[in-house]
A and B are shown apart, each in its own frame.
Chain A
């Protein structure tokens, strides 16, 4: 049996290597944290449509889903649409104030996202109050995610929508960047105990 006893020189190298490994590990942790922060930006500017062409509920959902597909968030566009329409059947997602929040928890979704669409002329959402919808939030959530995540986002968004300033800011924002910033701020905050 041969036992190798490293000489001084080699031991020094091992020591240096350890420093490198630990530095690399720290670097990796920092990078991972930055990436996580970026990933939690649910509303990216590419997912914002300032001028929806659709004038009807179904068309608006299809138009916004196109954005999701184009940005690579979906496994299957048709499958996702089916799930969103199914939810719409259970109950109309127009919530008043000219806002609708269609949403789908679907195995066809790769990653949670919110798509925002704005319509100046208004969309017929076939809601009881017949109020035209000017702001649409389409929420896409993967099936395997605990259902709580998308419900929490919806809850935060719903609370924010009560704020008239917030609604106005959304309608008046000139760029997608402004809207993305507004929405990320709202969906990341903690609920303040009232």
Chain B
């Protein structure tokens, strides 16, 4: 499964990066490919490219802060999650992403 993620948090100094790391780690552990863009106080890093969006199966976005350039994901299945939940329960969120994809395939 190809997962894309974008993380952001109110102060943009710690949780953005913790969430990105946690998500990447959890996804890789379950055998998925993943790329996580961080929108923190350093600016936007690891920017997701348009062709990567085309290939992606699912998009995971944190919902604590408005995600910049969100419109590029239009038409893709999106999961919105709290940044704190990503940090603490990234495994569960990746499992949920798998579920969403499975349901979509069944339909």
> At the interface with chain A, which of B7-15, B54-62, B93-101?
B7-15
Is B20 located at the chain interface by the 8 A CB criterion?
A: yes
Contact A162 B25 (CB under 8 A): yes
Q: A151-B41, A162-B87 are in contact. Are A95 and B20 (CB under 8 A)?
A: no
Residues of chain B at interface, number, CB under 8 A? 25
A contacts, CB < 8 Å to B: 90-91, 93, 95-96, 101, 103, 147-148, 151-152, 154-156, 158-159, 161-163, 191, 193-194
Which among A151, A156, A193 has the greatest number of chain B C-beta atoms within 10 A? Answer: A151
Q: How far is the CB of A121 from chain B (nearest CB, A)?
A: 23
Which one of A95, A147, A148, A152 lies within 8 Å of B14 (CB-CB)? A95
Instruction: Quote the shortest CB–CB distance from B87 to chain A (angstroms).
Output: 6
Bound CA span A163–B25, Å: 9
Known: A152-B42, A194-B24, A194-B35. A96 touches B88 (CB 8 A): yes
B29 to chain A, nearest CB (A): 12
CB contact under 8 A between A194 and B36, given known A158-B18, A162-B87? yes
B25-37 contact mask (Cβ, 8 Å, vs A): 1 or 0: 1000000001110
B69 at the interface (CB under 8 A from A): no
A-B contact pairs, 12 of them (CB 8 A): A93-B14, A96-B84, A96-B87, A101-B13, A103-B13, A148-B42, A158-B14, A158-B17, A162-B87, A163-B25, A194-B34, A194-B46
Q: Are A91 and B21 in contact (CB under 8 A)?
A: no
CB neighbours (8 Å) of A193 from chain B are 35, 46
A151 touching B88 by the CB < 8 A rule?
no
Nearest B residue (CB) for A90: B11
Contacts of B35 in A (CB 8 A): 193-194
A104 CB → nearest B CB, Å: 12
Is B45 in contact with chain A by the CB < 8 A criterion? yes
How many angstroms between the C-alpha atoms of A151 and B16 in the bound complex?
A: 12
**Across the interface, do B18 and A151 meet the contact criterion of CB distance under 8 Å?**
no
